């Protein structure tokens, strides 16, 4: 990632202050890793890269939770308006952990609520059950259990235009509770996060022929591992990129 070195850094504190965007519009793109990395050489010179203790690429691990009948997955698969996701996210390089609940906001935006969490509890909702219930209200279910584990490496960019963020995820892998695994070393997921208007990274991707893609690391990954599940929203993405 030599092109990443040319960008000025931004600290986590400043990034959070300028573009936390817990309520936001997300646009996701799936493309070859080579094209995603080439994007770094084309972003505007005022783009800044998140840097923590000299590093600009960070390892992430997420544990997704669902009910026995996969209500969270099915709400996403059938594009229900009140869909949600529950996960813990661990930043492996710092061992920081969060419990996060993502819900659908106004006009399709995403609202992410999160709670600082203990690393030893990353595979359990129990210590944060009260938090999940406070976010989901009547949608909360009696029991949420680990369903899918994901890992990847992420680079985060900040652009002053619209206080927008973009993330580039590579080395993607999924493992379900039955031990089935999927790795996509040649695929990247690029996600832009804005208040509403398209970001400069969106426009670069559009100019290269890429358009937003329906993909959910949880639901699409689980559908790839379990062909018995409904997968209509991601069929094209699964056929093109999610091959084992």
Residue 20: give its domain's CATH number.
Answer: 2.40.320.10
- What are the CA-CA distances from residue 227 to residues 21, 232, 242 (Å)? 34, 11, 12
pLDDT at 229 over 90: yes
pLDDT, residue 193, reads 86
pLDDT, residue 194, reads 82
How many CB atoms within 10 Å of residue 94? 13
pLDDT, residue 20, reads 64
With a CB cutoff of 8 Å and minimum separation 6, the contacts of 49 are 4, 7, 8, 9, 10, 56, 155, 156, 157, 158
| Domain coverage including residue 51 | 2-240
User: Rounded CA gap, 202 and 157, in Å?
Assistant: 13
User: Rounded CA gap, 191 and 156, in Å?
Assistant: 10
How many CB atoms within 10 Å of residue 186? 11
| Domains in the chain, number | 1
- The DSSP call for residue 198 is P
Strand, helix or coil at 87? strand
- The DSSP call for residue 66 is E
Pure H helices in 114-185: 129-136
- The confidence band for 110, taking pLDDT boundaries of 50, 70 and 90, is confident
User: Rounded CA gap, 52 and 31, in Å?
Assistant: 26
Burial class (CB in 10 A: 0-12, 13-18, 19+), 102: buried
- The confidence band for 5, taking pLDDT boundaries of 50, 70 and 90, is confident
- The confidence band for 56, taking pLDDT boundaries of 50, 70 and 90, is very high
pLDDT, residue 94, reads 87
With a CB cutoff of 8 Å and minimum separation 6, the contacts of 5 are none
């Amino acid at each position: 990632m030599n092109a990443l070195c040319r960008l000025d850094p931004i600290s986590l504190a400043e990034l959070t202050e300028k573009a936390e965007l817990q309520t936001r519009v997300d646009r996701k793109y799936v493309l070859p890793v080579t094209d995603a990395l080439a994007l770094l050489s084309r972003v505007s010179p005022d783009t800044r890269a998140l840097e923590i203790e000299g590093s600009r690429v960070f390892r992430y691990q997420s544990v997704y939770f669902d009910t026995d009948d996969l209500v969270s997955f099915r709400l996403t698969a059938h594009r229900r308006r009140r869909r949600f996701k529950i996960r813990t996210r661990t930043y492996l390089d710092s061992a920081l952990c969060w419990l996060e609940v993502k819900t659908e906001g106004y006009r399709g935006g995403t609202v992410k609520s999160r709670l600082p969490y203990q690393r030893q509890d990353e595979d359990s909702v129990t210590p944060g059950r009260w938090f999940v219930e406070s976010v989901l209200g009547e949608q909360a279910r009696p029991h949420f259990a680990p369903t899918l584990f994901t890992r990847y490496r992420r680079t985060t960019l900040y652009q002053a235009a619209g206080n927008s963020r973009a993330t580039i995820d590579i080395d993607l892998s999924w493992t379900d509770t039955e031990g089935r695994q999927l790795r996509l070393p040649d695929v990247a997921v690029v996600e832009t996060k804005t208040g509403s208007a398209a970001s400069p990274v969106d426009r670069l991707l559009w100019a290269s022929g890429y358009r937003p893609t329906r993909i959910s690391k949880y639901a699409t990954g689980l559908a790839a591992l379990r062909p018995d599940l409904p997968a209509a929203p991601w069929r094209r993405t699964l056929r093109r990129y999610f091959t084992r």
